[in-house]
Structure 1
Amino acid sequence: MSTRLEHLDIHPLRDELYNELHSRPFQVLPTPARVTQMAILTTPDQRREQFRHLQELHRLLGYPVPEEEVGCFEQTFGTLKVRREMHMEFASYTFTSLAESSADPFTETGITPLPEGWLEQMAGTVIAAFHVDIRPSSHDAASDLAFVRQHFEGLRLVGSSPQEGAARIWGTFKLHSDGFGRFMVQNHHMSNSQLGRLTQRLMEIETYRLMSLLALPVARDITPSLNDMDQKLAIITQALADNQDVDEQRLLGELSNIAARIEAFRAHSTFRFSATRAYHRLVLTRLEELREDELSGHLTMTEFMTRRLTPAVKTCEAVSERVEDLSRRVDRASDMMRTRVELAIQSQNQQLLSSMDRRSRIQLMMQHTVEGFSVVAISYYLIGLLKLGLDALYDSGVVFNKTLVLGIAIPVVMALVFLGIRIVHHHFIKMARRQ
């Protein structure tokens, strides 16, 4: 009994996830065929302009115009097949001419059947452009090699025999006089589907190879600045390690400047370096899928990439790691500098507190001295008041010895005043302790 899904909660991306694996099907190519691949770096506006440009091609060739843009578009115009694939950074165009021709290789190419002037109006920046000439093999290796050499302008060939000798691939991985790269595939006994997959892998290897190298100029540009910052950071760190008497404010300013420059480099290069690693892995994966055999006297594509591409990618990775290492070192040096400044501030605070403590003791001694003077002054005024009272009492008729009474009152008054001041003093000390 089959399960009915219409009443179940279906994930909104379910159909899209199913279709993703089928969004870029392998091409099916006959022998012979002429293929031209172009990879064009684009902005979002240029992608929209490219789609309008593709619509214009349909109008020029008299075919129905597509209304909706898709990730992988393929259309056959008679003997011309056009395929457009959208990638994260670029759009790839594959033009395949299936028309019969007796012309020499690369004389007629995949872009030959395009309307005059249409390709020149393409928006974007071309990063990869190369021709692939597919033809049957004569099964005579010597004559095939002699034929191949005639059409690569004397450049050194890289060749391999993939899929256990089912075909032979020749190329130079260089630009030729027409501004395009060139590859020749000599088919021994591959089916159209196998040949399409082989050609697709070959084109992806060349495109991803060039995309992976985009980070190399960036790495070369920022390396001198990294050397300069590395030297400055080493000097600052050595000064801190030697516990030299340095201007912390100036060093903190230099560290902040280095940190800002490193963050600018990271913002400019992090994506490019990450993309290089991803493209390089794709190249290696496609090379493994070819299952190459060596052709005597020629480097295979795997050997060529290992010798030339891998060191360039390793250079980019080394510069990327160096940027991250410098960033971590600057953070550690900044932490050390901040710790040093905080210790200096704590030392200054301790000295300030010691100075305040000394001043407090002096103020306390002065306060005790003032308290003694205060007892005398207050007692003096109280004795004066007491004398006025005794005079008034004596004048009213009360007979007593004013001098004796006043003499006895003086120490009593001074003792009472002293005790009163001490009581007030202790009261304020208790209030301070409670706070």
Structure 2
Amino acid sequence: MGSSLSALAIHPLRDDLYDELHSRPFQVLPTPARVTHIAVLTTPEERDSQFQHLQELHRLLGHPEPDQEVSCFEKTFGNLRVRREMHMEFASYTFINLDPAETGAPFAETGISLLPDGWLDKLTGTVIAAFHIHLQTQAGQGMEDLDYVRQHFEGLRLVGSSPQEGAARVWGTFQLHSDGFGRFMVMNHHMSDSQLGRLTQRLMEIETYRLMSLLALPLARETSPTLNEMDQKLAVITQSLADNDDVDEPALLAELTAIAARIEAFRAHSTFRFSATRAYHRLVLARLEALREDELSGHLTITEFMTRRLTPAVKTCEAVSERLEDLSRRVDRASDMMRTRVELAIQSQNQQLLSSMDRRSKIQLMMQHTVEGFSVVAITYYLIGLLKLGLESMYDSGFDLNKSLILGIAIPTVMALVYLGVRTVHHRFIRMAKGQ
């Protein structure tokens, strides 16, 4: 009998894990073709609106609407192929004109030329990348003439290379043109449709990820002056602590707390953006490595251009991110030193307070002994007074008493008894305090 998995426990994500590797297949593109790639930053609310917008395209073109959103959607409507990919921060749309007119000038007809009028204008989200890719076969020496290429890039400085060991030539400017789009021209020498599709996909990803990685650069430039200011304040505070100046510790601690709060606010606002920049930059470098470019005489290759322009910008963002972390650690250390000084000052004050209380206790004890002496006399005086009243009452009742003799004997006796009683109570309280 054949083996079967029906009796085994299957992980609920097993199918999804298999499908993940095949969710974004490479394009298979003919030559010639016209490609337009648009990437828009989206919010969760805009994602729902974009899916409804995609359903509207199906209705306009007379095709059944999709009923479920997927991470990578692709559909061919005659000569128009539409591909929509969902990413963490953005959604990308690729429109491919599979049968363009070969007699027209490059970029006169694009991937969005076959879209219904007004449909693209209703796309929600914020456009971060938008560019056309012109795919054509090499048709003689005239196609390779730089003057021919330049006239379709509006005279902007070209970046060009020969990827895949000369199987094609790629030209671009990495700048915006008069129509608001970027432009690439790919001249196919001897690539198959699948190879051309992979090359085009890498170009789209390089340009999109390049722009996404640069989103943190304005934030880094905006943050740097404030970091300089906080750095100087922190240096002054640290120097005053090192010099053991007579400083107002609570005031400095409050200032350090304010600096720490501002740093944490910057970190909360920028940590994700800086981390995303590093991730996008690594993706760009991986796609550039896959191009396997050869240099075209007199022009920067795409890898050289990115290394010269993109890498310093990413390094700037990384430097600001590291500086934020360094400032946070330094503020923590300065705060710890300040708290230590404050705690030592408080301990010194507590010690002085305890010493003062000890002196007061001794004074009170001495006063208590003095009061005890007076209290013995006072209590004896009142007891003798009561005894005198009792003797007078007995004398008036007919008892023959020597009042003066009795009182004379009673005074030292009562005084001794009162003194012993007061001392007994005093020692009893002392024993109770020690036991407690």
> Could you state the TM-score of these two structures normalised by the residue count of structure 2?
0.95
In angstroms, what is the RMSD of aligned CA positions?
Answer: 1.9
Matched, 1:185 2:150: no
Pick which of 187-196 and 379-388 moved more. Answer: 379-388
Q: Give the 3-state SS of the residue equivalent to 2:93 in structure 1.
A: strand
TM-superposed deviation, 1:390: 4.6
* Number of the residue aligned with 2:126: 125
Shift of 1:312: 0.3
Distance apart, 1:402 and its partner CA:
4.4
| Matching of residue 29 in structure 1 with residue 29 in structure 2 | yes
In 2: Cα distance, 1:21 partner to 1:429 partner: 84
Q: Structure 2: how far apart are the matches of 1:242 and 1:109?
A: 69
Secondary structure of the 1:240 match is helix
Does residue 1:338 correspond to 2:339, yes or no? yes
Rounded to whole Å, the distance in 1 between the matches of 2:88 and 2:176 is 25
In the superposition, the TM-score normalised over structure 1's length comes to: 0.95
Distance 1:390 1:55 in 2: 122
Equivalent residues, number: 435
Partner of 1:108: 109
Match of 1:136 in 2: 137
2:230 is equivalent to residue 229 of structure 1: yes
| Distance in structure 1 (CA, Å) of the matches to 2:159 and 2:60 | 39
8 Å CA contact 2:100, 2:109 repeated in 1: no
Give % identity.
78
Code of the residue aligned with 2:6 in structure 1: it is E
Q: Does the alignment pair 1:297 with 2:288?
A: no
Q: Distance in 2 between matches of 1:228 and 1:180?
A: 40
**1:332 Cα shift?**
2.0
In 2, the alpha carbon distance for the partners of 1:103 and 1:138 equals 14
Please say if residues 160 and 295 of structure 1, whose CA atoms lie closer than 8 Å, have aligned partners that are also in contact.
Answer: yes
Q: How far off is 1:103 after superposition?
A: 0.7
Please state how far the C-alpha of 1:220 moved relative to its aligned partner.
Answer: 0.9
Residues 1:424 and 2:434 are matched in the alignment: no
Secondary structure of 2:320's counterpart equals helix
Matches within 5 A, 1:87-106: 87-101=87-101, 102-106=103-107
Q: Secondary structure at the match of 2:3?
A: coil
- Once the two structures are overlaid, the 10-residue window that deviates more, 125-134 or 137-146, is 137-146
Deviations 1:221-241 (A, max 9, x none): 111111111111222222222
Distance in 2, Cα, partners of 1:373 & 1:40: 96
CA drift at 1:72? 0.7
CA 94–134 in structure 1, closer or farther in 2 if over 3 Å, else same: same
1:83 aligns with 2:90: no
Question: In structure 1, the residue corresponding to 2:106 is in which secondary structure?
Answer: coil
Cα distance between partner residues in 2 of 1:305 and 1:143:
24
Partner of 1:46: 46
Distance 1:382 1:74 in 2: 114
More off after superposition, 83-92 vs 143-152? 143-152
CA positional deviation for 1:36? 0.8
Report the counterpart of residue 433 of structure 1 in structure 2: 434
Q: Is the 8 A contact 1:41 1:125 kept in 2?
A: yes
> Within 5 A, what are the aligned runs for 1:145-184?
145-184=146-185
Offset at 1:400? 6.5
Is the CA contact (8 Å cut-off) linking 1:80 and 1:96 kept in structure 2? Answer: yes
Judge which range, 137-146 or 212-221, deviates more.
137-146
Tell which deviates more after alignment, 100-109 or 309-318: 100-109
Give the structure 1 partner of residue 359 of structure 2.
358
CA distance in structure 1 between the partners assigned to 2:405 and 2:309 by the alignment:
121
1:121 Cα offset (Å): 1.6
Shift of 1:200: 0.3
AA at the equivalent of 1:211 = M
| Distance in 1 between residues matched to 2:61 and 2:388, nearest whole Å | 132
2:317 corresponds to 1:316: yes
Amino acid at match of 2:285: L
Measured after TM superposition, the shift of residue 186 of structure 1 is: 1.1
Q: Greater CA deviation, 365-374 or 100-109?
A: 100-109
| Counterpart for residue 13 of structure 1 | 13
**Aligned-partner Cα distance in 2 for 1:400–1:122:** 126
- Residue of structure 1 in register with 2:267 after alignment: 266
2:299 aligns to what SS in structure 1?
coil
Q: Give the distance between the partners of 1:53 and 1:166, measured in 2 at CA.
A: 38
SS of the counterpart of 2:430?
helix
Kept in 2, the 8 Å contact 1:138–1:144? The answer is no
Q: Secondary structure at the match of 1:406?
A: helix
Cα distance in 2 for partners of 1:313, 1:70 equals 32
State yes or no: 1:197 paired with 2:198.
Answer: yes
- Secondary structure, aligned partner of 1:203: helix
Contact 2:160 2:301 in 1 (8 A): yes
Q: Distance in 2 between matches of 1:427 and 1:19?
A: 88
Question: Does residue 56 of the first structure (1) align with residue 56 of the second (2)?
Answer: yes
Show CA shifts across 1:75-113 (max 9, x none): 111111111111111111111111141111111111111
Counterpart of 1:77 in structure 2: which amino acid? F
| Contact 2:42/2:91, CA 8 A, preserved across alignment | yes
In structure 2, stretches of 5+ residues that fail to align are none
Report the CA distance shift for 1:58/1:242 in structure 2 as closer, same or farther (over 3 A). same
Correspondence for 1:68: 68
- 1:57 aligned partner, one-letter code: L
Q: 1:25 aligns to what SS in structure 2? A: coil
Cα pair 1:137 1:144 within 8 Å, conserved: no
- Counterpart Cα distance in 2 of 1:168 and 1:49: 39
